[in-house]
Amino acid sequence: MPSNRRNWSIIAAAISALGVCQTSYAQSLSGEASAADGDSLVVGGKRVRLFGIDAPELAQTCRANSTPWNCGEQARGNLAELIKGQTVHCEGQGVDQHARLIAVCLAGGLELNETMVAYGWALAYREFSDAYVPAEARAKASRLGIWSSQFQNPSDYRMSLLPPAVVAAPRTVQPPPRRSATVAPTGCVIKGNRNRRGQWIYHLPGMPYYDQTRAEEMFCTEAEAQAAGYRRAIVRN
């Protein structure tokens, strides 16, 4: 389950480094909320932008098996489900150019920012933070949410709405290939497994429990396993 703990001072430093206007204090908000889209809320009548994530825009579509579907609306719908009947608590460190509070928000014991990325309904917004990159890697590896489809990076989609003279060629993100744990390429012997505590662990040949581990995915290199969101098993002497 996504963590609901985040280092506010690190978040504040990241926001400050990127030129977001900061108030002289960390503003907190609590109350009933509604989802404006997949990465922003209205909490107690105030607009809030979820820090460090970027969801598809409301009008944006993704494509699954050549069939378009409204992934922007679906992202908003999933955020709305997370906050339904919950009191939302937000910790902010500044405001963006649209006068929205930039914040990390929690509801029902879940951190909404991380949960939206972990379930595949938003991307880690690397321009502002790397905090949610591991959650994105796990969602991508499991083909969750928009990772089951072809989609345009939300920032590229927004750029596509600008006049052609200032728009670069858009990038289309492809879903990762499905990987079989039973039919692995020759030499790919690293076992990836999700343990009982929900941790994504990989095991190398010769490690304790390697033979007993049921592989959910197989990897050729440790770098490949780490890129998919797994960490190396801890070997205790």
pLDDT tens by residue, 128-174: 888 999 999 999 999 999 999 999 999 888 888 877 654 445 556 66
Kindly report whether the global pTM for this prediction surpasses the value 0.85.
Answer: no
Tokens of 112: 């909404």
217 falls in which pLDDT band (50, 70, 90)?
Answer: confident
The domain locations on the chain are 8-164, 190-232
Class of domain 8-164: mainly beta
Sheet strands side by side (includes 200-203)? 217-219, 190-194, 200-203, 231-232
Residue listed under structure tokens 């801890």: 234
